[in-house]
Amino acid sequence: MCGIIGYTGSRKAKKILLDGLASLEYRGYDSAGIALCDADGALRTIKCGGRVSELASKANAIDFDANRGIGHTRWATHGGPTEANAHPHASKRCVIVHNGIIDNCLELRDELSAQGYTFVSDTDTEAAAHLIDREYAALGDPAKALYSAARYLCGSYAIAVIFPERSGEIWAIRRDNPLIAATSADGAFLASDIPALLAHTRMIYRPKENEVICITEAGITKHNTDGTVEAIVPEETELGVTAADKDGYDHFMLKEIHEQPDAIRRAASHRINSDMLPDFSTDGISEEFWHSFDSISIIACGSATHAGLVGRYVIEKLAGVPVTVNTASEYRYDPPAILGKTLALAISQSGETADTLAGLRLAKSQGHPTAAIINAVGSAIAREADCVIYTGAGPEIAVATTKGYATQVAVLCMMGIKLGVARGTLAADEAARLCRSLSRDIPAYVSEIIGRRDEIRKLAVAVKDADDLYFIGRGPDCPAATECSLKLKEISYVHSEAYAAGELKHGTLSLVEEGTPVVALANDSRYFDKMAGNIREVRARGGYVTLICTDDFPHPTEYGDSIFVLPKTEPLFSPLVSVAACQILSYEIALLRGCDVDHPRNLAKSVTVE
Ligand code: G6P
C-alpha cells in the first residue's frame, strides 16, 4: 500500500521518479504525485487523483525538472483520493511523502493549527509535514528535527523529506513501514521496495526502525541521535534486473504462476539434506527448536492464512502437533486461549502486513517463542521474529499471490515432515519419500498443469458469466478450496465461497439452482465416495460441476459437467497442484471478463494499514 520513490544525483529526477512510481503501482494506490527541487531550492509539486500514467502526462507537460525529487503513490486512508490529498505535502521549510498512518493526526492537526499552520488537505501526512517543519525551525538540523518529530508521531510511517534550502539532500526515517535506500554511480535513491530500483542499481541499504538517514549524490549517511554521522556501505542484492519486469508474459500473475515449479522446488530442496531428510540448518534453526513447543499458533492474512490451513493439515497429520490458524486482524486483539508452550508462527509474503506484524508483537509480548515464514528479506516481520524461514519466491508483483502462497505451503509441508521426524511420528524412509515427492514430483506436476492452459481456458469459458461460484472439497482439498475461491474473487470479481463438501447441505445448497457453477476438488482417494455423494447433491439441483480430480477418481464423466484430470499426487501436497490449476482458471476467467488481472480494484499487494 502506497509507494515511495526518491532520487538525488547528477541525472534529472522527473523520469526516474515517474518510472519508479510505475513500478510501485502493484502495491496498490489511487492517486500519485512528485516534487522536484533544484539546487537553488526552487520546488515544483505535481499531483493527480488518478493513475501514474495521468501524472506522467501532467508532469511531462510541465517544463521543469531538477536533480532531486520525491514521489508517491497513495492509497487513501485519511481523505479521499483527490489531487489535494495526494502526496507530496509541503510545509514552510520542507516537503514530504509518507507511507503508513499517523494515529494521533487529529491532536497534531489541532496543535499545529493553533500554532499557525494552515492545512490544505484531509491527510494525516500534512500534519507530519508541519510537525517536521516546526521541529526543523526550532532545532535547525534535519536529523534532530526528524528524531524529535518521531517522538510526537504515533502510528507507522516511512517518510522521505526534502528541505529545499539543503541542496542535494533527501532525508528519511521509517517505523513499521518499508523503505530502502540505494546508491549508483550517478546518485542515490529511496524506494518502498527493491524492484522499483533494479533498473538503476542493485546496491541496497535497509534502514533500521527509527534510524534517520540522508541520501546525496555521494551516497547514504546514517545520522545517530548523539549527533555522529556514519557513511553507509550498501550491499548488493541477489535480485536480477528481470525480477521486476514481465519477461515477455502478458501479466505478472502469469509470469509468477510459471515461476511456481522452480520456486516450490527451491523452497523444499533447500531444506533437504543428502539423505533426503528434512534439514533446516541453513535457516539457522537448531534441532532443539523442533522440540521446544507443544503447539503452533499461525498468524496471517489473506492467502497466507490459507497456506496456514494447508500447513495445519500437514503438520497435524505428520507430527500430531496441534495447530491453530488465526486471522491476524482478530488475533491481535483477541488471541485464542492456549495450553502449554505455543510457537507463534507468522506467515507473510511481504513481511510488512500491519495486522500480522501486530499479531507477532502481541505474541512476543506475551512471552511466546516466535518464528516467521517470509518472502521479503529483511522486512519488518522478518526482523522481529525470533527466527525466520525465507520462502525464496523472489519478488511477487501481481496483487493476487501465486508463487508466494505456493512457497509458503512448501515450507509448511517441510516443517511438517521435519516435526514428524523430530518427534518420532514419521519414519525416516517415509520422510524421505515425502521429501522426494515435494521437491521433485510436485514441481513437475505443477509444470504439467501450467502447460495445459488451453484445457483450463475451456473450463473458464463454461463458467465465465457466473455471478456466484462455489468450491468444495474434503480433506486436503478443503484448505485448497479456500485459496481457489479467494483467487477467483480477487481478480475476476465473481462472488465465490469455499466449503467443506459435507457442509454444503447445511445451508448453501439452497443457493444451488439450474446452472449454478460448483468446482469440486477431489484429490484424495479416501474421500472419493463422499465427494461423489456431495457432487450428486449439487447436480440433483441443476448445479454445473467442474470436477478437478486425480486420475484415479472413478467414472469422472458421471460426475463432472466439465473435467480436469490432475496427476496422482501425494494427497498431503495436492493443494499445490489443485490450487495451481485454479489460479489459471481464475486468471482465464478474469481475462474473459476483461478485468485488470495484475491490479484488481480496491486491493493492495502490501497491506500496511489495519
Ligand atoms: C493482501 C494481498 C494478498 C495477501 C495478503 C497477505 O491482501 O492482496 O494476496 O495474501 O495481503 O499478505 P502477506 O504479504 O502478509 O502475505
Q: Which atom of ligand 1 is nearest to the CA of 28?
A: 8
User: pLDDT of 198-220, one tens digit each?
Assistant: 999 999 999 998 999 999 999 99
Distance from C-alpha of 310 to C-alpha of 327, rounded to nearest angstrom: 14
- Residue-wise pLDDT for 366-409, tens only, equals 999 999 999 998 788 998 999 999 999 998 999 999 999 999 99
From the alpha carbon of 404, which atom of ligand 1 is closest?
16
| Each residue's pLDDT tens digit, 339-377 | 889 999 999 999 989 999 999 999 999 999 999 999 998
pLDDT for the residue 383: 87
Residue 108 CB-density burial (10 A; 0-12 exposed, 13-18 middle, 19+ buried): buried
Residues 530, 153: Cα–Cα separation, whole Å = 57
Residue pLDDT, tens place only, 150-195: 999 998 899 999 999 999 999 999 998 889 999 999 999 999 988 8
Confidence of residue 608 (pLDDT cuts 50, 70, 90): confident
Q: Which of 244, 268, 289 is the last residue of a domain?
A: 244
Ligand 1 centroid – CA 564 distance (Å): 28
On whether both 402 and 388 belong to a single domain, the answer is yes
Structural domain contains residue 516? yes
Q: How confident is the model at residue 242 (pLDDT cuts 50, 70, 90)?
A: low
Residues 86 and 223 in one domain: yes
Q: Which domain holds residue 506?
A: 452-610
265 and 396 housed in the same domain = yes
Upstream peptide bond of 88 is cis (omega within 30 degrees of 0): yes
* Ligand 1 centroid – CA 405 distance (Å): 9
Residues 125 and 67 in one domain: yes
| C-alpha distance from residue 351 to each of 196, 278, 377, 385 (Å) | 17, 24, 8, 10
Give per-residue pLDDT as tens, 412-438.
999 999 999 999 999 999 999 999 999
Nearest CA to ligand 1 atom 15: 348
In this structure, the answer to whether residues 434 and 512 fall within a common structural domain is no
Contact 267, 407 (CB under 8 A): yes
Q: State the residue for C-alpha cell 526502525.
A: 209
Catalytic residue among 2, 94, 214, 435: 2
Told to judge if 403 belongs to the known catalytic residues of this protein, a careful annotator would answer no
Q: How far apart are the CA of 606 and the centre of ligand 1, in A?
A: 6
> What is the CATH number for 112?
3.60.20.10
Same domain (yes/no): 72, 183: yes
Q: Is residue 351 part of a domain?
A: yes
The answer as to whether 95 is a domain residue is: yes
pLDDT tens-digit series, residues 137-152? 999 999 999 999 999 9
262 occurs within a structural domain: yes
d(CA 563, CA 546): 6
Both 373 and 230 in one domain: the answer is no
Give Cα 36 distance to the centre of its chain. Answer: 30
Is pLDDT at 610 greater than 80 in this prediction?
no
Mean pLDDT of 232-255: 86
Residues 417 and 462 grouped into a single domain: no
235 and 361: one domain?
no
Q: What is the pLDDT of residues 281-322, one digit of tens each?
A: 999 999 999 999 999 999 999 999 999 999 999 999 999 999
249 occurs within a structural domain: no
- Residues 435 and 323 placed together within one structural domain of the fold: yes
Helices (H), 123-259: 124-139, 142-152, 252-258
Residue 295 domain flag: yes
Q: 259 alpha carbon to ligand 1 midpoint, in Å? A: 18
**Who lines ligand 1 at CB under 6 A?**
301-304, 348-350, 353, 356, 399-401, 603, 605, 607
Ligand 1 atom nearest the C-alpha of 356 is: 15
Residue 20's pLDDT is what?
95
Closest CA to 96 of 172, 147, 42, 151: 172
Q: Is 281 helix (H, G, I), strand (E, B) or coil?
A: helix
* Mean predicted confidence (pLDDT) in 576-603: 95
Q: Which of 14, 255, 403, 605 is catalytic?
A: 605
Residue closest to 351 by CA, chosen among 381, 378, 390, 394: 381
Q: Is the pLDDT of residue 75 over 90?
A: no
Note whether 230 and 359 are same-domain residues: no
From residue 473, how far is each of 225, 304, 514 by CA, in Å?
57, 19, 21
- What does the pLDDT read at residue 241? 62
Of 246 and 332, the one with more pLDDT: 332
- Is residue 246 scored above 90 in pLDDT? no
Do residues 67 and 20 lie in contact, with contact meaning Cβ atoms separated by under 8 Å? no
**Res. 501: pLDDT tops 80:** yes
Structural domain count of the chain: 3
Could you give the count of Cα atoms lying within 13 Å of 565 in the half-sphere of its Cβ? Answer: 10
User: For residue 588, what are the CA distances in angstroms to 224, 467, 473?
Assistant: 52, 16, 22
Average pLDDT over the chain reads: 95
**Mean pLDDT across the stretch 440-446?**
97
User: Which among 244, 277, 292 is the end of a domain?
Assistant: 244
Domain endpoint, select from 396, 425, 446: 446
Q: Give 554's DSSP letter.
A: S
272: domain CATH number?
Answer: 3.40.50.10490
Residue 516's nearest CA partner among 500, 537, 486 is 537
> What is the pLDDT, as a whole number, of residue 570?
97
First to last CA, the chain: 11
> Are 113 and 226 within one domain?
yes
Pocket test for ligand 1, best of 350, 405, 485, 602 (most atoms within 8 A of CB): 350
Confidence band, pLDDT 50/70/90 cuts, at residue 82: very high
